[in-house]
Amino acid sequence: MTQPMQLLKKVISNQYFAVLNSLGDGLPYSNLVSFAISEDLKSLIFITDRNTRKYRNVKEYKNISLLIDNRSNQPSDVSQAIAITVIGTAHEETQNRNNFQSLFLARHPYLQHFANNSNNAMIVVTVSEYIIAGFDKTQRVIMSQ
């Protein structure tokens, strides 16, 4: 594998969706989310409707993970695919919403209407760790805050 930070940036910059993993009512729950990430890789942003299980889970249990990968669903994925687990703490952003929304919309301009909907929450994940996994190697990157 190449240098961990270079690999993180390469994979994350080419992916627009992540699988959010949360916990609610004692059960795991997964959702697909559109995301953006800060230049320093310390903050990941997604938007969700407040009237969803996803939102309730994040509000109740702030520790979450997300999976971002570059698989192509081909046999070559065994040797080439990378899966990145993002571990962090999520919160609804209200104070710096405009800054985070600008970052999100720079990546997903087609979601402007969704981002501007007052029923939707801007969720910011403060990343504590990345786990980069290939088929036979794993690397951890601890993020200092």
**How confident is the model at residue 120, as a pLDDT?**
97
Write down the pLDDT at residue 1: 44
pLDDT tens digit string along 104-137? 999 999 999 999 999 999 999 999 999 999 888 8
Q: Token digits for 144? A: 């200092």
Residues in the chain: 145
Indicate whether 74 pLDDT > 80. no
Average pLDDT over all residues of the chain: 93
Using the predicted structure, report yes or no on whether residue 29 has a pLDDT greater than 60: yes
CATH number at residue 92: 2.30.110.10
Tens of pLDDT, residue by residue over 96-113, are 999 999 999 999 999 999
| 116 and 125 Cβ atoms separated by less than 8 Å | no
Q: Nearest to residue 62, comparing CAs of 34, 82, 92? A: 92
Q: Which domain holds residue 91?
A: 4-142
Instruction: Domain count for the chain, please give it.
Output: 1
pTM score, whole prediction? 0.92
Q: Is the pLDDT of residue 46 over 90?
A: yes
Q: Which segment of 60-64, 76-80, 101-105, 134-138 scores lowest on mean pLDDT?
A: 76-80
Q: What is the structure's pLDDT at 92?
A: 97
